Structure 1
Amino acid sequence: MLCGAVVVNSGQRVLRYLSVVRFVTQFGTRTNVTYIQGQSPEPRIREYFYYIDHQGQLFLDDTKVKNFVTCFKDKHFLVFFFTRLRRNESGRYQDDFPFLSLCGRERNFLRCDDRPLVFTHLMPAAGGIVNQPIRTETAGGTLTDVGTGGAPELLSFCWGGDKLAVKFRPKSLYMHPGTGRVYHPCSERLGGVGLVRSALAIELSPFFLYPLQQHQSEQPTHFLWAGQQHTLTNELAGCFPPEEEGGMS
């Protein structure tokens, strides 16, 4: 998988076997999909299947127990995978695995719990420091301070550090009215919307401001950051189809 990298899962090489995976889509539709990890639908082509959860952890799709122990943690691998990720327009598994990461003759299909890109932590640009005293978790679960002082500039995704990051745009944060999940813009090739990991969203939550007559169960109108009160644009609201208005589990 991914240009000949050895696949290891729970300390053992992954064997090729038929998987019939049943899952519920984000819209509540039950679906079955059949595949073999490493299958070759045509000469010299290999196909692999992945899943990313709402914490930004990447797994082989048919991994039975999905947690920190079984997710992919090698930074080089993650950067390689996500920099090549795009919408699946291959004509294969498009409904069940809507995203695809290509590597030569390998097709790496991806489905997601929510969005294919999950922002995992804030970090300063090279040589900089962040404005607010934010504590975030490393991939190993250790809390670390990212500093105080200057304005935060990078929002890193999928545990890729500064190799997988976009500029942080406070006014573009969007809190979904149905789920309370927080989102931030990302590359258009991945749908334009990235999910903010729940642990990071909790750290950011005190900086959302609400009208005096509203409770925090309502939509925030501003975000206080770097000494400024940013008016939230809610520009991402139009990226969610009507089916999602009722919220996702």
Structure 2
Amino acid sequence: MNILKFPKIKPGLRFYSQGQLINNRIREYFYFINNRGELFLQDSKYKTIATRYNDEKFLYNFFQNLRLNTSNRYKEFKHVYLCEGERNYLICQDTPIVYTDLIDVRKDDCDKDNVSNQYLNQLYQTSSDNLALIYNNCLRLTTNFDPSKINVKTEGKIYYRNKYKSNSIVKSALADILAQRFVFDCNDKLPTHIEWNNYKYSLIHT
């Protein structure tokens, strides 16, 4: 079993404990999201598929209601989800939104784990109007796919311009799928376009 260990982050070197009670009325929890869009309790010793959060309802509510942490508490946790007597703090390996899959919205039985050559070729020939990006491994969390919003960083990481007009990282497995359609000019180290459904879209570079 492939087990990934992440160093425990101590917010401002201040102690915290999961579910701690504040003013006898508010409980606080602390979470971490990695670059695969997997959500864990921050202090989980082992962060694996077995220990990540998979419940669709919880993930949907968590990320739909996530906001910037503007309080003076645990500032290293940049985001927080407030829910009926709870503060749920989130710290990110990179970004709070991680695009994890690309699906054809016309298909009721979407197979987001299908990476066969036949499936990918069909995907590449599908109009972007019929495609959606899933984020944070939750089928209920989607955004329309627009190839012109793909941002290739100078270090090679691939991001996507989200609805808040900021960049969110693309999971490496999905980035590999997108990269197969990249177009390079002779003198450029980074791709300049992506070809999708027989059309070339300019890529963003930052």
The normalised TM-score by structure 1 is 0.70
Deviations 1:73-105 (A, max 9, x none): 1111111111111111122112x1001111122
Alignment partner, residue 135 of structure 2: 157
User: Runs of 5+ in structure 2 lacking a partner?
Assistant: 1-6
Residues 153-196 of structure 1 show CA distances to partners (whole Å, capped at 9, x for unaligned) of 211100111x2011111011111112x211001232xx722110
Corresponding position of 1:23: 9
1:31 to partner: Cα distance: 5.9
Q: Does 1:104 align with 2:84?
A: yes
SS at 1:23 equivalent: coil
Cα distance change on mapping 1:168 and 1:23 into 2, 3 Å: same
Matched, 1:167 2:144: yes
Q: Kindly tell me: are residues 45 and 31 of structure 1, through their superposed partners in 2, closer, same or farther at Cα, counting changes over 3 Å?
A: closer
Instruction: In structure 1, give the amino acid aligned to 2:158.
Output: V
Matched-pair identity in %: 32
Ranked by relative contact order (alpha carbons within 8 Å, sequence separation 6 or more), the top structure is 2
Flag the 1:164–1:97 CA change in 2: closer, same or farther, 3 A: same
Shift of 1:206: 1.4
- Tell me the residue number matched to 2:197: 226
55, 66, 70: which is aligned to 1:89? 70
Shift of residue 65 of structure 1?
A: 0.5
From the superposition, tell whether residues 44 and 202 of structure 1 become closer, same or farther in structure 2 (CA, over 3 Å): same
Distance 1:129 1:59 in 2: 28
User: What secondary structure is seen at the aligned counterpart in 2 of 1:64?
Assistant: coil
Partner of 1:184: 160
Structure-1 residue corresponding to 2:3: none
In the other structure, the counterpart of 1:65 is 46
Q: Structure 2: which amino acid aligns with 1:32?
A: L
Show the counterpart of 1:7. Answer: none
Select which of 103, 117, 123 maps to 2:97: 117
Q: What is the letter of the counterpart of residue 67 of structure 2?
A: R
Alpha-carbon RMSD? 2.6
CA deviation after TM superposition for structure 1 residue 45, in Å: 0.5
Number of matched residues? Answer: 194
Counterparts in 2 of 1:75 and 1:51: CA distance versus 1, 3 Å: same
Amino acid corresponding to residue 91 of structure 2 in structure 1: R
Task: Could you tell me which runs of 5 or more consecutive residues in structure 1 were left unpaired when the two chains were aligned.
Answer: 1-20, 25-29, 238-249
Q: Is the 8 A contact 2:103 2:112 kept in 1?
A: no
Letter in 2 for 1:192: S
- Which position in structure 2 is the counterpart of 1:210? 184
The answer on whether the counterparts of 1:136 and 1:200 sit within 8 Å (CA) in structure 2 is no
Whole-Å separation in 1 of the counterparts to 2:109 and 2:63: 26
Q: Distance between the aligned counterparts of 2:196 and 2:108, measured in 1?
A: 16
The C-alpha deviation readout for 1:38-59, integer Å capped at 9, x for no partner, is 1112231110000001100000
Aligned to 1:76: 57
**For residues 189-204 of structure 1, what are the structure 2 equivalents within 5 Å?**
192-204=166-178
Q: Please report how far the alpha carbon of residue 143 of structure 1 lies from its aligned counterpart in structure 2 after TM superposition.
A: 5.2
